[in-house]
Amino acid sequence: MYVLPDEFRKRLKEPLGFLLDEKGLMEAVKTRRVIISVGDMVTFTLLKHGVKPDVAVFDFQCKRRVCSGKMKELLGSYGDVRLRVRNKPGTISEELWNAIKEAYSLCRNKKVSVVVDGEEDLASLAAISLAPSNVTVIYGLPDKGVLLIDVTEKEKNIVNAVLSRCGSHGDRSR
């Protein structure tokens, strides 16, 4: 398990990719091949515009409050495969790590939802670290917009450097 120390929280709020608004996001996703969405609002926004992420990670919460009925209904019905995991705030549990890893292998043929019981706040780090080539990870920055990251070795190295300082236990094989 990775546990994010408080001193890294500020560092992770610095954009790693492109900071976009909703209109910019809809334009940008047109040219992306494999889309991973992390967060309820991001996933809901994509779905309401007809964009179906290959992997969607969400916890039925927006800003740590239960999301609306309409959002919950749309998110809850998404995906050919649903993986359910537990994850505490400020952590990446072994369950979450392994589910994202499994989702990448499954999403070649199916749309996958990773439903988190707890908090998916750091799932984007696992999604970036584990990403194969040609993957775009999208996640929200509350009250600022959406970050779109076309994952390359550069982004993976930045994320892995942070994760290496957060401690780990369990299966981290990539």
Looking at residue 10, what is its pLDDT? 58
Among 38, 33, 4, smallest CA distance to 146 is for 38
Looking at residue 41, what is its pLDDT? 93
pLDDT at residue 6 tops 80: no
Looking at residue 141, what is its pLDDT? 85
Q: 163 near 129, Cβ under 8 Å? A: yes
Looking at residue 165, what is its pLDDT? 80
pLDDT tens by residue, 26-83? 999 999 999 999 999 999 999 999 999 999 999 998 877 778 889 999 999 999 999 9
Tokens 């696992």 -> residue = 126
Percent of the chain at pLDDT exceeding 90: 68
Secondary structure (DSSP) of 29-67:
GGG-SEEEEESHHHHHHHHHTT---SEEEE-SEETTEEP
Q: Mention every residue, 6+ apart, whose C-beta is less than 8 A from residue 161.
A: none
Q: Which of 12-16, 18-22, 84-88, 160-164 has the lowest mean pLDDT?
A: 12-16
C-alpha distances in Å from residue 94, one per residue of 16, 20, 157, 170: 24, 31, 20, 6
Cβ neighbours of 34 (radius 10 Å) = 18
pLDDT tens by residue, 132-153? 988 999 999 888 889 999 999 9
